[in-house]
Amino acid sequence: MKRRSLLSLAVLGPLLSGCSGANEQPLTFANRLHIPPLAPSEIDPDGFRSFALNLQPGKNGTWGINGDHLGPTVRAKRGERVRMAVTNRLPEPTTLHWHGMRLPARMDGGPHQSIEPGATWTPQWTVDQPAATTWFHPHPHGQTATHVYRGLAGLFLIDEPGGPALPSDYGADDIPLIVQDKILADGRLVTGPVDNGTFGLLGDTIMINGTIDPYVEVTTTQVRFRLLNASNTRVYRIGFADNRTFHVVGGDAGLLREPVPADRVKISPGERIEIVAAFDPGETVVLNSIGENRRDANDPEEDDFELLKVVAAASLKPSKPLPQALGGPAPVIPPPGARVRRFALSGSEINGRDMDMNRIDEVIPAGAVEIWEIDNTTYAHNFHIHEVAFTILDINGEPPPAYLAGPKDTVFLRKHADVRLAVRFGRHTDPATPYMYHCHLLRHEDKGMMGQFVIVDPGTEHLVPRTIP
Ligand code: C2O
Ligand code: CU
């Protein structure tokens, strides 16, 4: 097991007090896991649940949202109208994108919704999608890697009244785990290498929810962990050190149909996986990431890391048994004759083209169900589509592992892989404002491995201008 560098762990934000140490020590799991606070909200006079999110510089090179590093957890129910006041207190323009949210393109927070320093952006929309663990992060064209790496990211949990009886006491038996790799020196975040090498930054210090060397105490027999890979590049294969079986209950865009037993799950940048694990009273077990020993320099997932020590209390409250059916959305099934679009991924291009903010690459009729074929001609990438949920039909011609069967918005493609996705598009039409699809390895995204699509009224596709003035 690779040791994380404990070089000068001083303080990154307020979360790391009490740690010290020299290089290359074993993890001591010395720090209590930080749980991002729930963002306060109020119902404004127009009936919107409103939140204020301030993007601001933190300490030691970090940036945060309403704090020094990372953001609060936003929470809303299906059917609620939400309004965000996003204020940019940073020294440069940025954006805030709602990754996994289905909403009008002008509210999406992609590269076209820039927020100047000192300005406040106030998107609003109706949350109308199944329960899911979504997240938010900046998306300024060419700067996403740096802005996310500095710490601008948070969770947006969507609740659906009447859902299955899963652990749902936030921070107690329903624990978010935002996994990120960082490079630290002299107690400061090192930012330069976001732009290095084929893949960009691969850090040697893992932070969970901004905590280095973390442990968490649990007090129930079953605990739900909502995993988010918010790293720039690194892919993890997460499980427990004793390889115990747990159950996957959710993917990026919502719950599965039924719990899927697994002992390790792969998660690439941007993806979310919800698991439920069982614990015995008084035990401790380490959550870790184990590479596949493929020793392939073309793949950012070969390293092993310890992530988090789970400490079970001497007596545990019994949890409800895991439901047999989770009520997740039915798979997307393409209709006969569904339109097929093909996307070839090369080093930093899609279909041989770099991102152009002024070019519309694809025009999609509202409500369409299409097959998107992604063909990776080079080293590892992944592929994320804004606004949609998709079902992975196959990976290299084989059905995906059962834990990836649920609704997705991001899919990993190892070197030379190809995948077929059944994609259901929404009905928020706007021929002039695009959504993005892109590689979520952030250096690749910044280098132009991204394209733009608009959703338009069916039958008007040919009328849509392909350039944005
Ligand atoms: Cu999480 Cu277009 O991004
Ligand atoms: Cu890529």
109 Cα–ligand 1 center, Å: 9
* Closest listed ligand to the CA of 443: 2
Whether 196 has a pLDDT exceeding 80, the answer reads yes
Whether 440 has a pLDDT exceeding 60, the answer reads yes
Whether 3 has a pLDDT exceeding 70, the answer reads no
* Residue with tokens 């979360």, as numbered in its chain: 15
Amino acid at 18: G
Domains of the chain: 33-159 (2.60.40.420), 174-317 (2.60.40.420), 340-463 (2.60.40.420)
Instruction: Dump pLDDT digits (tens) for 124-158.
Output: 999 999 999 999 999 999 999 999 999 999 999 99
Please identify, by atom number, the ligand 1 atom nearest to the C-alpha of residue 137.
1
Please identify, by atom number, the ligand 1 atom nearest to the C-alpha of residue 438.
2
With b for 16 or more beta-carbon neighbours within 10 A and e for fewer, the 360-374 pattern comes to bbbbbbeebbbbbeb
Atom 1 in ligand 1: which residue has the minimum CA distance?
A: 99
434 Cα–ligand 2 center, Å: 21
Gap between the Cα atoms of 158 and 131, Å rounded: 5
Gap between the Cα atoms of 293 and 300, Å rounded: 12
Enumerate residues lining ligand 1, CB below 6 A: 97, 99, 137, 139, 270, 384, 386, 436, 438, 440
For residue 39, count CB atoms less than 10 angstroms from its CB and return exposed for 0-12, middle for 13-18, buried for 19 or more. buried
* Closest listed ligand to the CA of 384: 1
Whether 23 has a pLDDT exceeding 50, the answer reads no
* Closest listed ligand to the CA of 442: 2
The arithmetic mean of pLDDT across residues 157-164, rounded, is: 94
| Strand extents, DSSP E, 252-339 | 254-262, 265-267, 272-278, 284-289, 305-317
pLDDT at 22: 34
Local confidence band at 11 (pLDDT 50, 70, 90 cut-offs)? very low
For residue 45, count CB atoms less than 10 angstroms from its CB and return exposed for 0-12, middle for 13-18, buried for 19 or more. exposed
Bridge partner list, 284: 311
Atom 3 in ligand 1: which residue has the minimum CA distance?
A: 99
> What is the three-class DSSP state of 34?
coil
Listing from the earlier edge strand, what are the strands of the sheet with 205-208?
Answer: 211-212, 205-208, 174-182, 222-229, 272-278, 246-251, 254-262
Gap between the Cα atoms of 157 and 166, Å rounded: 14
Gap between the Cα atoms of 68 and 44, Å rounded: 27
Whether 6 has a pLDDT exceeding 90, the answer reads no
Local confidence band at 111 (pLDDT 50, 70, 90 cut-offs)? very high
Structure ipTM over 0.85, yes or no: yes
The arithmetic mean of pLDDT across residues 335-344, rounded, is: 98
**Ligand 2 ion local residues (Cβ < 5 A):** 381, 439, 441, 444
